[in-house]
Every structure is written in C-alpha cells, then in structure tokens.
C-alpha cells in the first residue's frame, strides 16, 4: 500500500524538531480505514509473588540486586568523560562487532545452571509480528531503542551469519545442558523465511547507514545490515536488521497491521536476562524505537500502568499507544520530559527536590540538572527494579528514612544497605513497633509531585520478617539516577512526545473492565487466549494483547 507523508514531531535528546516522515498506511484487516483518534492497547499482567520458602526468597532478592547491578554498570562506559564528542566516538566503537565474532559463524557461551536472574522483575508484552502473525514475549524497556526477537536464521555465506544454537558451550555441566534444552523448547523463535512481510535491509542501503549499532564493513549489495548492541545491563544481541509488520487490535475492535517497523533478527543473545523472554520491545527515544514508530501514528503519545508485584496472577493492566482517557483523572500530574544526553534512548522528569515527610532533603541541584553536570538527571527504566541514586542523593534519602526506622534491629541482606527486623504491614503504620513510614515525595518541574506507596519506599518481606529500603547506591560518577519499576508501580504514566510532556497519577492498574479479545497471550512458550484490559479511546472500546512481569 502506498505511503503517505505527514508532518510529525520527533524528539531527540535535547532537541525538538519537526520532521517530514514518510509513513506507510495502517493496514486494516477488513480493508477499511482506521478512525481518527484510535489507539491500540497491550494488556499488562503482574509477576507471581516472591517465593514463600525462606532460602528461595533470599535468592529472589539477591537475583534482583544482581540484575540491577548488571543493568547499571555499563552506564559509566556509555557516557565517557565529556560532551565534545568522545562519548559519541566511544559509542560508535562499542557498537562494532568484536573480531572473534565477526570471523566465525559459530558462537560459544557459558550457560548458567544456578538461579536465572532473568526471572526477576521484568514486565513482558506479547506482540504479534510477521505474516502470518505469531506472538512473542518481549521485555518492556523504556531505556532502549532497539526492538529485537531471537531468530532462527540460516547462515548465508556473503550475506549474514546464522544461529548455531547447538554449539553453545555448557562446559560439560548436565544441569546447564538441561537448562539449554529447556530454553530451546520454551522460546518462541522468529523465522524470517516463514514471514512474507519480512524484508531484510542490506549494507548498501542508506537506511542501513542511518541505523544505530550497525556493523557493516562495506556497502555490499549482498550483505545484510548487521548490528551489535550491548545495553546497560551487559546484555548482548547480534543479528541483522529488517523491516516487519506487527498485528494489533485498535480501539474499535478491528485488527490492523503496523508496517515498516525496524526489527532486529537476533542470532546471538548473551547476558543474564535473555532466557526468560523472546526479545525486547523498545519504548525508548530513537527513530528505530517501536514506541516512536507507533506514536507517530497514534496521537504522539503512549501510556502504561505497572501493577504491584503483589497483585494476583489473573490481574492485568495495560500499555496504550494513542489517547488514553484513563490518564486524566483526580490527581493527574504533568511535567516536562527531559531526553537524557548521556544515555541517548532514555528520558525522565526534571526533578527539583525530594521530601521525606515535611523535610526537604539537602541534595545539590546539579544532581538533577543535566546542563551542569555529566551523569546528572533521572531516567525512567522499566527494566530496572530498585531505584538507584547517585551518592549525593542516596545518602540524604536513606539517612532521612533511617531516622524513622533506626530503633528497629538492623539485618544484613545482600544487595541492600538498610534492612530491618520488622514485618511490614498494611500502609506502613505499625503503632506496636512505633513505626510509621513517612510520606516520600519527588517534586518535579512545574510542581508535579510523585508520592509512591510505602511499599515502594520500603520493600516488605525481603526475607521472613525483614524489610529493606527500596534504594540502591550508584558509584560516584555512575549517574544518571534511575527510577525503577518498584517506585513506578501502581501509577499510570503517559509519555507525550508530541508535547514533550509526562503525565502520571496514582492508579491500582487493575480497575479496568476485562474481556476476552482476539489477541493472544504467550505463557511459557505457548499461545493461549486470555483476559484483556479494556479502556477507551475517544469513546470507543479497545482490546488488547498481554504484557507480563516475570520473576
């Protein structure tokens, strides 16, 4: 179907610009036209609760700490030492394919047989790609601009390398070999040869030259446009770029195809988080991001609501592209979106101060001001669990909270600095132990105030009868600060790229009518129909597919 040119707003870090973008038409399955003001939804489901067994529970929170640590430790490397180009050169160099990988068609990776940290604190969305459309479990990632799926791709000499899944080294470990076999069986593999809508991008095309992370060595017409990406958590994906369609349900209940999506067909994934999902759905800022591609067609904005980790397994919330009336309600806050200059795909609010109770904490302004300091500011990261603060913010925050809990016995817990022998109950008010968790407030530009629930400030039952402050200290120079999904839970968030605004308000995320749609839910590698979140867009009902948070 022919494309159309539209004037649209594309936001890049630190820059607001109008661009003339050629967009392919949304393809309605019934041949009709999509109504103005339509939106599309993906339903969100909560994780199972942490294990009851004491040792498994400790392993669970140790794994959460390890996952977040891996997520953060690449930030310093990504940022570099100044803003005059060295970071750009470093990013370009880091995207090059390692020599050992470019010279061989097989890859060997150690396999873990211990607790897999991938199963802690990630939200997954089921999205249908290809023709015919098949569902894939993808991690919801607001700090990434590359959407990729683990791919079955045969090696073609002179064109691209392929997946050699059976050559992965397991070091003679029977448990690891069994884990590999289980992984192979549970994955939903994307097979480009079986999708009539897949089109690979070649190194000779200008489009390839414009794509980030690309590793093409020459403008060959035969060679596929390849990429190598290493993210903040150390996760590596290697593959080739192509264009593909996603099948979605729009707000009037009809099925439609979203064409022209940039998709990474990954032939190698490495890192602690790759075994629990089929890939990544990018909600970051960048011209190849799924979110940016979708919002250009759906009102310039998207929203999501993250259920509490303690919600029941059959509860669900939503990820919405387009206008979502659920965002506007009692207590809706609005502030400006800042696009991070150090972590290019990331964005967040302009924080002005933090309060514990009525006390405004003494945190230097340059912690939040990206114009004054390298590594300053805050990003929203749905793939990080526990909120991480630079020392200049972490120390006053934890000291102020500790003053309300210091009379309780301290407990040592791996991954947390402040833990207490105390059973967290209800809203954090416990007269029997003289404990009241104070109100925690993040104030932002324009007067917006984020006031998370007590359980997002003090994490209950990290171990039996143990509660810990829900913050982690970043190393010196390790910013920006990161608001993780524990702090973000039970709020609805809207990112309005068209107006460079962020809106949020408290919401349990499970109050929307549920119904069964034609969308599919992917659980443990199988497809089944499931309950779907229903909201409204300009007065018309919407149906959904499913997002999970996995432990």
Q: Is residue 2 domain-resident?
A: no
Q: Number of structural domains, the chain? A: 1
Q: Is residue 165 domain-resident?
A: no
pLDDT per residue as tens digits for the range 416-475: 999 999 998 778 899 989 999 999 999 999 999 999 999 999 999 888 899 999 999 998
Burial tier of 408 (Cβ tally within 10 Å: 0-12, 13-18, 19+): middle
CATH code for the domain in which residue 115 is found: 2.40.70.10
Q: In 3-state terms, what secondary structure has residue 25?
A: coil
Q: Is residue 272 domain-resident?
A: yes
pLDDT per residue as tens digits for the range 299-330: 899 999 988 877 766 667 788 999 888 899 88
Angular region, 477: left φ>0, alpha ψ -120 to 50, beta rest:
left
Q: Is residue 22 domain-resident?
A: no
**Pseudo-torsion of CA 535, 541, 543, 544, nearest 10°?**
-30
Q: Which is nearest to 458 in space by CA: 466, 449, 450, 467? A: 467
Structural domain including 331 reads 70-79+100-153+186-506
The whole-number mean pLDDT for each consecutive block of 10 residues of the chain, a chain of 551 residues, reads 36 36 64 74 61 74 70 50 39 38 24 35 86 91 94 70 45 50 70 95 95 92 92 81 92 86 91 75 94 91 86 74 90 95 90 97 95 90 92 98 96 93 86 94 98 94 92 89 94 95 91 38 30 42 36 42
> CA-CA distance, 217 to 480, in Å (whole number)?
33
Cis peptide before 480 (omega within 30 of 0): yes
Q: In 3-state terms, what secondary structure has residue 458?
A: strand
Q: Is residue 280 domain-resident?
A: yes
Q: Which is nearest to 305 in space by CA: 314, 315, 290, 291? A: 315
Cβ-contact 139, 232 below 8 angstroms: no
pLDDT per residue as tens digits for the range 82-102: 344 433 333 344 444 333 233
Q: Is residue 518 domain-resident?
A: no
Q: Is residue 223 domain-resident?
A: yes
Q: Is residue 291 domain-resident?
A: yes
Helix, strand counts (H, E) of the chain: 9, 38
């Amino acid at each position: 179907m022919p494309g159309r040119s539209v004037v649209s707003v594309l936001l890049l870090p630190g820059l607001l610009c109008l661009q003339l973008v050629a967009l392919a038409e949304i393809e309605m399955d019934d041949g009709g036209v999509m109504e103005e003001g339509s939106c599309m939804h993906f339903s969100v489901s909560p994780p199972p609760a942490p294990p009851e067994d004491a040792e498994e529970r400790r392993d669970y929170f140790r794994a959460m700490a390890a996952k977040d640590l891996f997520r953060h430790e690449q930030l310093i490397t990504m940022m570099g030492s100044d803003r005059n180009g060295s970071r750009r050169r470093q990013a370009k160099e880091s995207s090059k394919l390692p020599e050992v990988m470019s010279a061989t068609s097989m890859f060997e990776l150690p396999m873990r047989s211990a607790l897999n940290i991938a199963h802690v604190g990630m939200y997954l969305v089921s999205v249908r790609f290809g023709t015919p459309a098949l569902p894939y479990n993808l991690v919801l990632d607001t700090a990434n601009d590359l959407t990729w799926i683990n791919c079955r791709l045969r090696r073609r000499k002179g064109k691209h390398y392929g997946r050699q899944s059976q050559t992965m080294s397991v070091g003679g470990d029977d448990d690891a070999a069994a884990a590999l076999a289980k992984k192979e069986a549970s994955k939903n593999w994307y097979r480009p040869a079986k999708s009539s809508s897949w089109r690979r991008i070649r190194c000779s095309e200008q489009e390839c030259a414009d794509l980030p992370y690309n590793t093409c060595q020459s403008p060959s017409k035969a060679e596929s446009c390849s990429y190598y990406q290493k993210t903040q958590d150390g996760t590596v994906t290697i593959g080739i770029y192509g264009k593909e369609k996603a099948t979605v349900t729009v707000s009037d209940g009809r099925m439609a195809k979203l064409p022209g999506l940039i998709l990474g067909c990954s032939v190698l994934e490495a890192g602690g988080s790759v075994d629990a999902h089929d890939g990544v759905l990018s909600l970051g800022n960048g011209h190849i991001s799924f979110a940016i591609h979708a919002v250009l067609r759906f009102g310039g904005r998207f929203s999501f609501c993250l259920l509490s980790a303690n919600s029941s397994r059959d509860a669900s919330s939503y990820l919405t592209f387009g206008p979502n009336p659920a965002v506007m309600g009692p207590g809706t806050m609005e502030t400006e979106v800042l696009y991070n200059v150090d972590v290019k795909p990331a964005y967040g609010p302009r924080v002005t101060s933090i309060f514990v109770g009525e006390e405004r904490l003494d945190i230097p302004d340059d912690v939040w001001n990206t114009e004054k300091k390298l590594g300053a500011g805050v990003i929203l990261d749905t793939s990080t669990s526990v909120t991480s603060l630079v020392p200049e913010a972490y120390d006053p925050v934890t000291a102020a909270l500790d003053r309300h809990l210091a009379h309780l016995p301290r407990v040592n817990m791996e991954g947390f600095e402040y833990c207490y022998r105390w059973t967290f109950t209800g809203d954090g008010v416990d007269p029997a132990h003289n404990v009241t968790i104070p109100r925690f407030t993040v104030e932002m530009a324009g007067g917006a105030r984020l006031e998370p629930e007590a359980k997002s400030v003090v994490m209950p039952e990290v171990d039996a009868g143990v509660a810990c402050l829900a913050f982690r200290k970043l190393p010196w120079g390790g910013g920006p600060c990161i608001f993780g999904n524990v702090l973000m839970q039970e709020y609805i968030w809207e990112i309005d790229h068209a107006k460079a605004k962020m809106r949020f308000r408290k919401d349990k995320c499970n109050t929307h009518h549920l119904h069964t749609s034609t969308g599919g839910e992917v659980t443990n590698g199988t497809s089944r129909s499931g309950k779907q979140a229903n909201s409204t867009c300009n007065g018309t009902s919407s149906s959904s597919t499913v997002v999970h948070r996995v432990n």
